[in-house]
Amino acid sequence: MLGVFVVLTLIFASLALAQQGEVNTSTETTTVTSTATTTTTSTTTLGPPSTGTTTTTSSPPTTSTSTQTKTQTTTTFTTPTTVTVFGLASTVGEGTHVVSLTFTNTGTGANYTAPMSNGGFSVDLPNGAVYHVSVQWAGNYSWQAGVEDRGDLTVNMSAGSMMAQSYNVQFETPPTAVAVHGTILWTLPLAYPYKIVYTASDGESFDATVQNATFSTRLPNLMDYHVTVFWQYADGSTDYLVGTNQIVSEGVGVAGLDLVVMGA
């Protein structure tokens, strides 16, 4: 019995010694992150000697900077100071054509001329004004020319609009040449007319054959003519006599002209 007690005593004594010599170490780390970051380390030692250590480390606040850039584009429209007026210009009249256009500012009287090129024209005009338009035309002969009045044109382009304006022109003119049919009422004894010659004031001549006292030809329009009639006698000899002067000045849409030739 004594032996069992001794054994039990030894067992409990050994357990007590074992408990006195055991070291239990526990480490806890907590990290909290906010604007500032704090790290806490806690160390606890069980058994003699009993010590506890706590270490706290603070990190400086972290500053985050966000930059946002906005770009806004603003378009400003301005009123044009000048406007390009362009277009086509033509005549309805045989042998005539447009030479140029003149734009006269009705407020200031300033003139702006647009010459023709390949059937068209272009001119820069100050904006915000009214212009009186006149068109210069010419024919195939040096004396054939005229001016067509086209009235007023308003040039007033607003802000943001195109800086150009179209303007087309077409008008009738007298034809360059006129078909002439004539009758010679002038008679001479023993002679008959066989040719008539129209001589223009610039020296150009145009002749036509006379048959049975009538003739047909084409004469340049808008001209004064000196008329000469040539005669042939029964013996074959010829002569000429000067007739009255005649004016060929026909307007728009003329198809032909009948003339009567009298002696001077």
Sequence-distant (≥ 6) Cβ neighbours of residue 159 within 8 angstroms: 77, 78, 79
Check residue 13 and give its pLDDT: 37
Q: Does domain 177-261 have CATH number 2.60.120?
A: no
Half-sphere exposure of 257 (CA within 13 A, CB side): 23
The CA–CA distances, whole Å, from 31 to 12, 27, 54, 56 equal 44, 13, 14, 10
Lowest mean pLDDT among 39-43, 119-123, 167-171: 39-43
The CATH number of the domain covering residues in 82-172:
2.60.40.1120
Residue 60 phi, psi dihedral angles, 5° rounding: -65, 155
Check residue 7 and give its pLDDT: 36
Which amino acid is residue 187, in one-letter code? T
- Tell me if 82-172 shares its fold with 177-261: yes
Strand 246-248 relative to strand 205-209, pairing: unpaired
pTM of the model: 0.65
Two structure tokens written together for 236 = 């074959």
Check residue 250 and give its pLDDT: 87
Domain boundaries, the chain: 82-172, 177-261
Contact 43, 52 (CB under 8 A): yes
Q: What is the residue-averaged pLDDT of the chain?
A: 79
Q: Which residues pair with 55 in a beta bridge?
A: 41
